Amino acid sequence: MQYIGIDLGTSSVKILLMKADGTILSSISKDYPVSYPKTGWSEQNPEDWLRQTLAGLKELLASEEADQNQIKGIGIGGQMHGLVALDEKDQVIRPAILWNDGRTEEETEYLNTVIGTDKLSDFTANIAFAGFTAPKILWMQKNEPEKFQAIQKIMLPKDYLVYKLTGAFTTDVSDASGMLLLDVKNRAWSKEMIEICGIQEQMLPEVKESYDVSGFLKPEFAGELGLTESVAVVAGAGDNAAAAIGTGTVEDGSCNVSIGTSGTVFIASDSFRVGENNAIHSFGHANGKYHLMGCMLSAASCLKWWLEDILKTTDYQGEQQEIKGLGDNPLYFLPYLMGERSPHNDPNVRGAFFGLGMDTTRAQMVEAVFEGVSFALKDSLEIAESLGIEIKKTKLCGGGAKSPVWQQILANILNIEVELLVTEEGPALGGAILAAVACGEYASVEDAARAIVKVKETIKPQPELTEAYARKYQVFRELYPAIKGVL
């Protein structure tokens, strides 16, 4: 049998075709635009997601490797937190407000101070962050009251795809955890948060586990794609949980670091835990259990900004070749280009270079970007370890995972082994694995991950570098408090 995995990302949708044994047969990517109508705002047209997904599926299914009669299931991993609102005719009311949108400062402040972080943590296991969905609902209620009154359905980006493809109005626990509307511990909607947001529970989708079948392809889409109507579409997962499945991060205490547009530290947990001050997120996992996650808003996007927007080059390899002698760079970079989530929860802070001199080189500035993102990821790892979780190694995925220089810097800054995978396909592979589990190919997500995910190389930290980076990290930690409220 064959399975399709979809990664509904921020700038593109990636679709892959997987055999039951985990072999990737082919993949395709389709881009779509992001709109920034005001400073700090980030929006997309959900119809673009559907159009480009269908275009990608058609192209994928036209490949020699695809056998339409063998395709049994589709799983989707998608960008989290986005607010998709539909009216009574199932029409999109306004562009989706994305995960990295920072307009909800007032609403986030209201939730954390007036409602209170203790209550929010009790209701949802988390506190309010500007990117979460609940503050966006409150923003819409205040700033677009007519559109708010028209809302009949509220969903997340990947759930919009599932709804359009199948007619099933569902979400999964991992993605719903990031809405600030879910009672994460009990894996059900929080009645208190529903009341606070001024909505009705029937506006929210049915909550399923990621490996549950949501529905089957509508006849019109099955016919358009040349597939049977028996193709199952599973509930899927938020992109980070889907990536964790795709990297085999399913055992208690296992870790995955993702360096994509955003950056995450993802730690699987068999039991429900909440970190001190809710500085990292406590969410449901796509394997039916739980996870802790620290999320920074700008990771590989920092490198893209520095190289393409500032230096006007796309020669990523060439820029890294000039980096010599790790651990002695006097420059510091704060990667807060769009504000920050974990652990600072500060949508207004901005990025900065520190330590510039007349002798500063281009290579040092590129290296500082690598280090700054890695230090920010270490912030989240330290919080997880403060809960008594011992982390000795991590899987690595995302665009940043492809850089040997970044791999070395990350291993030494985190001071743990970094495992590189034979197949690094992130959320798309995770989606395909979830589809295979849902269709009975494997008994559990854990069984599937053990069979499919393989490590090809391990990057080990070097004592002399870990010591140098440990000293530099202490300075890095002092920089955010120094600029808070200034930039």
C-alpha 255/C-alpha 276 separation (Å) is 19
C-alpha 105/C-alpha 83 separation (Å) is 16
Contacts of 263 (CB under 8 A, 6+ apart): 257, 295, 296, 298, 299, 300, 373, 376, 377, 398, 400
CB 343, CB 378: distance < 8 Å = no
User: Encoding tokens for residue 474?
Assistant: 């202490």
Q: Rounded to 5 degrees, what are φ and ψ at 68?
A: -55, -30
C-alpha 446/C-alpha 424 separation (Å) is 18
212 has catalytic annotation: no
Q: Would you say how long the chain is, in residues? A: 487
C-alpha 232/C-alpha 198 separation (Å) is 34
User: Encoding tokens for residue 290?
Assistant: 């739980």
Q: Which residues pair with 332 in a beta bridge?
A: 354
DSSP string, 428-440: HHHHHHHHHHHTT
C-alpha 69/C-alpha 83 separation (Å) is 35
Catalytic residue among 159, 239, 346, 379: 239
User: Encoding tokens for residue 246?
Assistant: 């795709």
Contacts of 44 (CB under 8 A, 6+ apart): 32, 33, 34, 35, 82, 95, 96, 98, 157
- Half-sphere exposure at residue 316, Cβ-oriented, CA atoms within 13 angstroms: 15
C-alpha 179/C-alpha 189 separation (Å) is 10
User: Encoding tokens for residue 149?
Assistant: 């009154």
Q: Which residues pair with 81 in a beta bridge?
A: none
Residues forming the active site: 239
